[in-house]
Amino acid sequence: MNFSDASSTRALRLFQCFAKEARPLSLSEISKQMDTPLSTCHALIGVLRQGGYLYTHHESKKFYPTKRLLQVAQGIAANDPLASIFEPYLRKLSEATRETVILGTRQQDSVVYLDVIEGPQVIRYTAGPGDIKPLHSSAIGKLILGEMDPDERARVIKRLALEKVTDNTVIDRAALDAAVSASHDAGYYTTRGENVSDVMAIAMPIIVQEEPLGVAVAGPLERVSAGFEAIVQELSALKSDLSKVFD
């Protein structure tokens, strides 16, 4: 397959449409969902069919992905040098806390989630690998800021667009700097309804090859607040175990 950058983005959006709709889609439905001309969608579908990533329902003339993309994704995930090491520890942490556990790292001036293990409870924080979160309003984002050299942190905070994600988001630069500095001294970072209303998260840093990654436990604010001390203990135990792995 030969994709331009724009076509590659459209291909990802196309697969996201199928994931969202969870059913075969016609050419016109794909065009509408993607807000993209029929001719462009037709050409994209042609390339993906030739590559074995889509097939056609002959009677309905609708399209659906084959399992080739799943096979590719599973091969990638199975060989992820970080996620494969972290996953059993993240699952153990989720089982112990019964909350959603997240592994994230810095991506320019944002955080990208590398892995997410959702908690077993009906009411829980929901997220997915690949989600992008702001540095200033997420627990792992604050962790990334807090683990920086103070001079670098000041430079980054100065250039961030501190958007008010919720009513509780800290958008004062001095207050944000002071908060993450205090969290660094405490050894853990928290958000209380700052990125998602009524959600609290607690994060701790794991240093891998001199780069900080964040592991966070997130869930309903009242429940996580009530279990705060136990969650911090579980995060501390995970940090201790992983420090031996990456030592």
pLDDT beyond 90 at 26: yes
Report how far residue 15's alpha carbon sits from residue 77's, in angstroms, rounded to the nearest whole number. Answer: 18
200 near 225, Cβ under 8 Å?
yes
175 near 157, Cβ under 8 Å?
no
Cβ-proximal residues to 17 (8 Å cutoff; 6+ apart), any chain? 25, 30, 33, 34
Enclosing domain of residue 96: 80-246
Choosing from 39, 71, 103, the residue where a domain stops is 71
pLDDT beyond 80 at 96: yes
Do both 113 and 173 map to the same domain? yes
103 near 139, Cβ under 8 Å?
no
125 near 222, Cβ under 8 Å?
no
**How many independent structural domains does the chain possess?**
2
* Residue 151 identity (one-letter amino acid): D
Mean of pLDDT values over 45-64: 89
Do both 44 and 133 map to the same domain? no
Domain at 13, CATH number: 1.10.10.10
pLDDT beyond 70 at 169: yes
Do both 30 and 91 map to the same domain? no
Instruction: For the chain, give the percent of residues with pLDDT over 70.
Output: 97
**pLDDT digit string (tens) for 178-236?**
999 999 999 999 999 999 999 999 999 999 988 999 999 999 999 999 999 999 999 99
Report how far residue 123's alpha carbon sits from residue 215's, in angstroms, rounded to the nearest whole number. Answer: 21
pLDDT, residue 75, reads 81
Do both 22 and 110 map to the same domain? no
pLDDT, residue 72, reads 86
CA dihedral defined by 36, 40, 45, 50, rounded to 10 degrees? Answer: -160
Window from 1-10, 80-89, 90-99 with minimum mean pLDDT: 1-10
Do both 108 and 155 map to the same domain? yes
Q: What is the largest CA-CA distance in the chain?
A: 64
**pLDDT digit string (tens) for 68-80?**
888 888 788 777 7
Mean of pLDDT values over 122-133: 93
Cβ count within 10 A of residue 15: 15
Choosing from 71, 92, 120, the residue where a domain stops is 71
Do both 116 and 155 map to the same domain? yes
Do both 57 and 145 map to the same domain? no
Q: What are phi and psi of 23, to 5 degrees?
A: -165, 160
* Residue 186 identity (one-letter amino acid): A
Choosing from 41, 71, 101, the residue where a domain stops is 71
pLDDT, residue 5, reads 55
pTM of the model: 0.78
CA dihedral defined by 193, 196, 198, 200, rounded to 10 degrees? Answer: -60
Say which residue, 127 or 69, is predicted with more confidence.
127
CA dihedral defined by 236, 206, 109, 145, rounded to 10 degrees? Answer: 50
Q: How far apart, in Å, are the Cα atoms of 49 and each of 45, 85, 176, 209?
A: 6, 35, 50, 41
Cβ-proximal residues to 169 (8 Å cutoff; 6+ apart), any chain? 136, 137, 162, 163, 194, 195
214 near 139, Cβ under 8 Å?
yes
Do both 52 and 169 map to the same domain? no
pLDDT, residue 25, reads 94
Domain at 202, CATH number: 3.30.450.40
Do both 170 and 201 map to the same domain? yes
Report how far residue 102's alpha carbon sits from residue 164's, in angstroms, rounded to the nearest whole number. Answer: 23
The mean predicted confidence, pLDDT, of the chain is 92
